[in-house]
Amino acid sequence: MIRKIFTICFVCILIISLSGCSEKNSTNKFTNDSQKNMSQDNNSTKKEDDETSSKKAVESVSTKNETLPDYFSQKDKILLVGKINNELDIHMELKITNKDHFDDVGELYWNPIATMTGLKPTFRYEGFYYYDKYQKNIRVEAETYSNGYLAIYEFDENNNFTNSFGGFLDVDNVLKGTWSNHKGTNYQFYLAQNTTKVEELNLNFDTNKIGEYYTLESHKGNFTCLNIVAASDKKFKFHISGYSRPNLGNVGGVAYYTDTSKKQAIFKDEEYNTEITFSFEDKAIKVSINGNTNYAGAHVKMDGTFKKNETNKNLSAFYLGDD
């Protein structure tokens, strides 16, 4: 009887022990599964967060307002849309080239748009543009400078330089300035990124100072001409050319206004230690040169008081005796 009771007790203890181990194993399994699920959830959440962050980063990049100077410094194609004379629609495609000079440009420093005394281009470009009306590609080359100025040179089918564009990249996120042909005709133009909503751009031109100016002393065989081809609230692109048979003179660059009144501007040429001052009075500009004047030959006058050319005549040709 006692043995029977002992056997029953042993069996009971064994059953209780096995039950406890089963519950412990079950508890451990639940704990491990929970931790695994939590880890998976955390990884899934982290992945979603990473994807969201990446998406936001892409959206941030894609919606970033890229400035025109930034756009012109990238290596991909530069696609532009614009107008000449506010009526002729054009498209342009440029790409940075590693050329350190353009062999076929020739002596473009005589051109008012091309002259940039004392500065080397920051980038050079090759490409083409076309008038939407004609859909015919016209080859162009271009150069940008540290002062924000861009010059574009246009060539005919025989690679002869014909026309040119000149304007500032760092104004209102649109390139605005003057298009000039080889006959001396000038028109306003603008160019912007082809993805830009043109209606949101400030296309107003500061044309008050743009134009040709001549000294009162100019006459056939002896003249001095001042061209202003692009202007903004802070600066303008100028070119002064002088002629006194048989000698010539040329200087050009960007002058900066000394204050908000825009009645005076200064151009500094550190290479020649020269300073050119422009004083504006109505439609007249008084130009004075201080320092080295190695821009011209003997008897060529590069300064003086200049009056604006209000006619449609090419006075340069007249003063040179070609008209």
pLDDT interval class at 221 (50, 70, 90): confident
Task: Give pLDDT tens digits for 293-307.
Answer: 778 888 898 999 999
**180 touches 113 (CB < 8 A):** yes
Q: Are 84 and 189 in contact (CB under 8 A)?
A: yes
- Last residue of a domain, which of 153, 181, 205? 205
Strands 149-155, 161-168: parallel, antiparallel or unpaired by DSSP?
antiparallel
Domain count, the chain: 2
Looking at residue 317, its pLDDT comes to 55
pLDDT in tens, 27-57: 443 334 434 443 444 444 444 454 444 434 3
pLDDT at 5 over 80: no
Domain boundary among 151, 185, 205: 205
Question: In this structure, are 230 and 124 located in the same domain?
Answer: no
- Rounded to two decimals, the pTM is 0.75
Q: Write the CATH number for 288.
A: 2.40.128
Q: Which of 147, 180, 205 is the last residue of a domain?
A: 205
Supply the range of the domain harboring residue 275.
207-323
Residues 215 and 195 placed together within one structural domain of the fold: no
Residues 6+ apart with CB under 8 A from 30: none
- Is the pLDDT at 268 greater than 70? The verdict is yes
Per-residue pLDDT of 240-255, as tens digits, reads: 999 888 888 999 999 9
Average pLDDT score, the chain: 79
Tokens at 32, concatenated = 């491990």
Shared-domain flag, residues 231 and 323: yes
Rounded to 5°, the CA angle 164-82-97 comes to 55
Least confident window among 47-56, 159-168, 183-192: 47-56
pLDDT tens-digit readout, 273-322: 899 999 998 879 999 999 877 788 888 989 999 999 887 666 665 555 55
At 155, the amino acid letter reads F
Looking at residue 149, its pLDDT comes to: 96
> In 3-state terms, what secondary structure has residue 186?
strand
